Every structure is written in structure tokens, then in C-alpha cells.
Structure 1
């Protein structure tokens, strides 16, 4: 196998309740913001999986129940655009050891397929990463930079934006 190849084709699946520990480990290894702790994480995970309009996808690593990548699609009803929903892609994370192997693409493709099947007219996403490889990844997945202008209102005093 050459660099960037995986022993199997990366595939996405819907997240399950039992995925929480592996998801928290993925977040910890992937240089994203701090995850919710303990019982709060468990409550939020249950709420997320049960929430209408939220779909979370994961891609399994080859070893011991670890996750290689994840993303979350949030869809929201919309009175405009002929009543077609909005889609928002969030929390796209790939473990550093599994980057370049198709896991990120697999979860984003699954989210986009779900968005189109749900009647979304577009999917919005934002990236706070300055790394040009990240932007190349999203552009390769069909996202067009500059089509919309993003504004972020952060809660006063919240440094995590």
C-alpha cells in the first residue's frame, strides 16, 4: 500500500449511542476545542442523537473501536427558497493519524447526501483553519468559498470561537 492508502475503503455510518467515548477520544486527539466533560457530554450526546434535524456521521478506524472521522449535519426548516431546508455542516474532524485516507471525505459525503435527501437547498459550513489543505479539501467536496459572507457573533467573553 502506498502513502495515504487504507486497508479498506473509508466508509461513513450514522453515529450510535455507544460511539461517545470514541468520539471524545477523536476530539481530544484532533486539536479541536475542548469537549463537554463527563455527565454533560453524555446528556448532550443523547440529545444530539435524538434531536430532529441533527445527523452525525462517523468513519471507523481499522483498530479497536476507534473513530477516524466525524461530522454533524444540522438541517433547519425554511419558509423561503420554496420551503427547502437549510443545511449546516459542523464539527468536521479527522484524527491526525487517519488524514488523507478518505475518512473525512466519507463523512462529508454522507452528510451532503443526507442534506440533499432532506430537501436542503444548500449546505453552509465555516472553517476557522488557515491551513490551505483544509480549504482544498472543502473545495474538492463541492464547497465554494466566497459565495456567502459569514459573520460570527460570539457570546461576550467567550474565547472559544
Structure 2
């Protein structure tokens, strides 16, 4: 793995992040081939909201100036864990041609350390049931498939 740093995303990183988020067949199947202007505006508004929220961190893996990975960390206070925060990791992506080089593992280790530094009592994530390689990857990091998740499109 070349020199990769993990940092908070900037507005300039958004186009590269959006490319990473559609860098597989499952993700591409969830959205139209072209991006309507309203969706484009919604993405920019979402970035601004994430960037302004101290409980959200949009992270990029930056390899010598090129964005090669991303994830979003959300910190949620919880009464169910005796008041401890939990960190939810979402939208984990590594550029398709760079997978298997350790970037994802390093990004997850960095993210889990962020949770420890904040005093979180739990890190959680969801992944599409069709992403069997991702399931093996998360299990190799110590994550346990302990719950069944449900979603409802609105």
C-alpha cells in the first residue's frame, strides 16, 4: 500500500466520493444512469449537512492526492448502552481496482480508533446481503452478524 492518509472530506472531494459510491454493480442498480439536477443539488446539501454536524464525519482515504476510499462515521448517543455513544459506519468503499491492498482494513482500523477515542461502547454497520465479500471482510475485523436489519424506502 502506497502512502495513504485518512482525513475528513472537503467539498473538493465530493465528486470523487460520489464516483466511489457507484463503483460496483449493486450501487449502480440503485440509481439512474444520469444524475438529475435535483439529485446533484441534494448531494451537495447532504455534504454540507454532514460537514456541519459534529456527530457525522465523512472520511476519505487519500493516496498521494487521489481519493481511493471513503466511509461515513455517525456517532449516536444511546440510553440502551448505559449512555455510551455508538458509532455507525456507512458507505464504506475502496476503489475497485485497488481492493485487496489493505486500504479498507487500514480505513476500518482508523475508524474504529476514532470510536475508541470518543469513548464509544459499540461500532456497528450494515451491509447489503448480496455483498458476501464485504461480509467476510467485516468478520475478519471482528464484527459479528448479531442482528437482522430492516429498511423501508420512503
TM-score range, shorter chain: 0.7 to 0.9
User: Where does residue 47 of structure 2 map in the other structure?
Assistant: 45
The structure with the greater share of residues assigned to helix is 2
| Alpha carbons of structure 1 residues 66 and 29: separation in structure 2 relative to 1, 3 Å | farther
Q: Shift in Å at residue 37 of structure 1? A: 2.7
Q: Give the TM-score, by structure 2 length.
A: 0.82
Q: Give the TM-score, by structure 1 length.
A: 0.78
User: Where does residue 28 of structure 1 map in the other structure?
Assistant: 22
In structure 1, distance between residues paired with 2:24 and 2:68: 10
In structure 2, distance between residues paired with 1:46 and 1:131: 29
User: Where does residue 57 of structure 2 map in the other structure?
Assistant: 55
User: Where does residue 154 of structure 1 map in the other structure?
Assistant: 152
Q: Shift in Å at residue 61 of structure 1? A: 4.0
Unaligned runs of 5+ in 1: 1-5
Is the 8 Å Cα contact of residues 126 and 149 (structure 2) preserved in structure 1? no
User: Where does residue 10 of structure 1 map in the other structure?
Assistant: 4
User: Where does residue 111 of structure 1 map in the other structure?
Assistant: 111
Q: Secondary structure at the match of 1:37?
A: helix
User: Where does residue 3 of structure 1 map in the other structure?
Assistant: none
Q: Shift in Å at residue 81 of structure 1? A: 2.3
Q: Shift in Å at residue 152 of structure 1? A: 0.9
Is the 8 Å Cα contact of residues 20 and 94 (structure 2) preserved in structure 1? yes
Matched residues, number = 146
Is the 8 Å Cα contact of residues 3 and 63 (structure 2) preserved in structure 1? no
